[in-house]
Amino acid sequence: MNKNYETVLNDIKENFKDSKYSTSQLLDNTGLDKNDARDAIKNKTQRSLSNYIRFYRLNHSQNLLKKGKKNISEVAYDSGFSSLSYFSKSFKDEFGYSPNASLNNVKLIRQFRSTMISIIQNKTSLSYLFSGILLIFIIILIIPRISLVDNSEKINTKLMLNDYSRINKIPYNDLLTNDTIVIGSKIRSYDIYWRTTDIYEWVGLNKINDSSVLFSSKMKSIYFQVKLEKEGKESFQYFTSANNLINVNISLDDKTDQDGVYFPAMELYLPNTNYSESHENLHIKPFYMDRYEVSNKEYKEFIDANGYYRDEYWPSEIMHEGIKISFNEVKTSFVDKSNFPSPKDWQQGTYENGKDHFPVAGISWYEAYAYAKFREKSLPSVAEWYYAFDRNRPNKALENANINSYNFTKSRVETTSMNHNGIYDMVGNVREWVYNNITDKNKKGILGGSFADDPYLALDFYSQNAWDRNIYNGIRLVKKIEEDTSGEIFYVREKQRNFYENFQTTDKEWGIIKSMYLYDNDDIQIKNIGITEVKDRDYFCENSEIIYGTTILPIHHLKANSDIKSKKAVIYFPGSHALFRDNLRYPSFFDDLLQSGIDIIYPEYLSTYSRRDDVKTDIGNTSMRYRDNLINWVKEVRYAVDYAMQNGYEPHYLGVSWGGQLGVNILAIEDRFKTGILFVGGISLDDVREEIQPEKYAARIKTPTLLLNGRYDFYFPYKSSQLPLYNLMDLDNTNKRHVVVEYAHYVPYHIVAEESINWINR
């Protein structure tokens, strides 16, 4: 074991300054088995192999900083770090203070030592000299402790708040007002850090007791990065809002000595349009995911171990075109160009020279499964893969992704495509097989897209025949800490409609459809209740009630000024969160609309807020109840238009998510709107009754309409939902506009505000 330790240590000493040097290169250089190398370091240092390489680099950097001859950038690069921000973060995590604080400490000590020498050389009074020496001696002892008090968290907080203030046009001082935020019981024993984006260093949340923290009241509903840490446990980073900290149900108690990225158990909501099993809240058990896709060199070890001849690695049932085949047919079916059992484009059981660290490609799902068993790991489930990917925030993974490039694959040495969780090439390079069946029993999920795919495919549920061996197919593995059942879910696509063939209605048919939304104006009464100032906001709310039959529809009319009447008002329809909340939520872009002279009329529609009932989802279905609810939601929007026009306002429609989906039906039926804005909406792929199918309504929209979408939206996919809506609307290009940003189900609020104001005032 000591000999292995010396071998590993010598290799690290020789190579740590190379930023591309890693565990895999160490194993290549030394020829050691991974477990032997890991145990050698673990027994001596209580650190994992990759952690010890980082520690060695940090120790070297600390010694360089103490010498004070190089700046921080030079020290970082001379220690094997290619990223200055990662170096600073790692240094602080390891030593408890930043490299900047360390360097400042060295400079101060030198300055005082120089001062002391000057006093000795130039002062003749012994008492003055003695006093000066004593003073300098005390300062030298104290300064290292003072200088290591790191103010970087305060600086970072100020920078983040300034950035948020600028983007969202909120006065900086308004962000300094804090609210008490309760945190969930599972995470109260952890150190909790936050930051708005990874361009900033981590900042500790300000705990006021064991169960609560202080956080800016203006920012508590926005999503940001959170990191949980505890000594002796794996750390974990994820996205949430301060308001959601009470619901975080994560434990870091499952730490094992594994390579890869750790993901603790989590309740995961996995949405994808029109898949019957995909809307469940799934309990994902803890697991580790490999940072890289499986390489040619790694897969060759499976071949050299006669993996294609050992039935213990292969599924008990191997199907080809619906027919079960015997295991003996594996070695004659999954062959390369030379008829050797190996990936499709290999020759004589080996890969092209110089391609060691390129991802293995040209393999079927069955080969991927067998390789995983050989490694005593698993193919990820759909849920595990998307948990690790984080579809809500794909922008970093997409930033340098090898997708839609037709440049073939990249090696793990040259790739720079890393997502928020530190995993490489989850977008592009090769598609990655997952465990679940998707669409039918012969098809398996294969996610993330390849170098030749369109970018939006990276976020879609995609499947291929499990036998498929094209050059786009690869593998990434997970190590499960506990077995779970998320890989057993069969994602079956519900009945699909071809929007471009299904949109047409005759005038007579459309007349019958419109008649479902008729009502008698005489049955509508409007009752004004009064006006109040909105707490923590610089605007007012005039409350009213629309009474129809025995039903009361509460109206919240937001105004920038209680005394000055605006000319325009938007009728707002919220997202599906309204089905679960007791109180209305006012997004920050409301401030911009109101300050621009546009009022906001915010009804409490059926099944939302104070009118909540047993409707708990915005997913459509073919029931009569869903049809009747949709008709009622459209009619309640029409009542709100009556309210707006009776009060002298020009009405405009603004729907977000669920409201953007229903807005297709609403804008076709209610022709009094001057403009419509559908924010992260689109044509719903849900299977609904024929008389409310949205494509029929899209083709009848004549109101100038603005679409605001993320290109990687998984509720309303770009190709199958957003584009059909834009193309079907009965409008010329001057009266419809599609703004697409590089996000998922999100458009930044400052873009929403600017585009909406311009559209309404066009």
pLDDT value of position 296: 95
Q: Is the pLDDT of residue 181 over 80?
A: yes
Domain extent for 191: 152-253
Please check whether residues 459 and 436 belong to one and the same domain.
Answer: yes
Return the beta strands (E) in 560-640 as ranges. 568-573, 598-603
* Number of Cβ atoms within 10 Å of the Cβ of 466: 23
CA 698 distance to own-chain centroid = 30
Q: Are 217 and 536 in contact (CB under 8 A)?
A: yes
Q: Are 397 and 420 in contact (CB under 8 A)?
A: yes
In a domain, 511, yes or no: no
- CATH number for the domain harbouring residue 632: 3.40.50.1820
Please check whether residues 467 and 322 belong to one and the same domain.
Answer: yes
pLDDT value of position 632: 97
In a domain, 210, yes or no: yes
- CATH number for the domain harbouring residue 58: 1.10.10.60
The pairs formed by 612-618 with CB atoms below 8 angstroms and a separation of 24 or more are 612/579, 612/580, 612/582, 615/579, 616/579, 616/580, 617/279, 617/576, 617/579, 618/575, 618/576, 618/579, 618/657, 618/658, 618/661
pLDDT tens for residues 360-410? 999 999 999 999 999 999 999 999 999 999 887 888 888 889 888 777 899
Alpha carbon distance 721, 144 (integer Å): 61
Alpha carbon distance 457, 720 (integer Å): 11
Alpha carbon distance 628, 643 (integer Å): 23
pLDDT value of position 147: 46
Please check whether residues 382 and 331 belong to one and the same domain.
Answer: yes
Q: What number is the average pLDDT over the span 169-182? A: 86
pLDDT value of position 664: 98
212 CB contacts (<8 Å, ≥6 apart)? 180, 181, 182, 183
CA 112 distance to own-chain centroid = 49
HSE-up of residue 293 (Cα within 13 Å, Cβ side)? 35
pLDDT value of position 237: 82
- CATH number for the domain harbouring residue 390: 3.90.1580.10
Please check whether residues 362 and 439 belong to one and the same domain.
Answer: yes
Q: Where is the domain boundary, 455, 488, 521?
A: 488
- CATH number for the domain harbouring residue 158: 2.60.40
In a domain, 136, yes or no: yes
Q: Is the pLDDT of residue 122 over 70?
A: no
Sort 108 into a burial class: Cβ within 10 Å, 0-12 / 13-18 / 19+. middle
Q: Is the pLDDT of residue 128 over 80?
A: no
Q: What does DSSP say about strands 431-437 and 443-447: parallel, antiparallel, or unpaired?
A: antiparallel
pLDDT tens for residues 459-497? 788 899 999 999 999 999 999 988 888 898 888 877 778
In a domain, 657, yes or no: yes
Please check whether residues 140 and 173 belong to one and the same domain.
Answer: no
Number of structural domains (the chain) is 4
645 CB contacts (<8 Å, ≥6 apart)? 651, 672
pLDDT value of position 1: 47
Sort 290 into a burial class: Cβ within 10 Å, 0-12 / 13-18 / 19+. buried
Amino acid at 726: Y
pLDDT tens for residues 412-431? 988 889 888 889 999 999 99
Q: Where is the domain boundary, 147, 168, 193?
A: 147
Please check whether residues 566 and 636 belong to one and the same domain.
Answer: yes
Alpha carbon distance 265, 249 (integer Å): 8
Alpha carbon distance 126, 137 (integer Å): 16
Please check whether residues 43 and 67 belong to one and the same domain.
Answer: yes
322: phi then psi, degrees, rounded to nearest 5? 80, 0
pLDDT value of position 135: 56
Please check whether residues 418 and 337 belong to one and the same domain.
Answer: yes
Q: Where is the domain boundary, 95, 126, 147?
A: 147
Please check whether residues 329 and 418 belong to one and the same domain.
Answer: yes
If pLDDT is split at 50, 70 and 90, which confidence band does 669 have? Answer: very high
Q: Is the pLDDT of residue 660 over 80?
A: yes
In a domain, 262, yes or no: no
Please check whether residues 156 and 143 belong to one and the same domain.
Answer: no
pLDDT value of position 472: 93
In a domain, 505, yes or no: no
pLDDT tens for residues 259-274? 788 888 888 878 776 7
In a domain, 259, yes or no: no
pLDDT averaged over the chain?
87
Please check whether residues 240 and 113 belong to one and the same domain.
Answer: no
Please check whether residues 133 and 170 belong to one and the same domain.
Answer: no
Q: Are 540 and 533 in contact (CB under 8 A)?
A: yes
> Residue 459: left (phi > 0), alpha (psi -120 to 50), or beta?
alpha
pLDDT value of position 317: 86
pLDDT tens for residues 197-224? 777 888 888 888 878 888 998 888 888 8
104-108, 218-222, 578-582: least confidently modelled range: 104-108
pLDDT tens for residues 141-170? 554 444 445 567 788 888 888 888 887 778
pTM of the entire predicted model:
0.72
In a domain, 506, yes or no: no
Whole-number percent of the chain with pLDDT over 90: 45
25-34, 120-129, 185-194: least confidently modelled range: 120-129
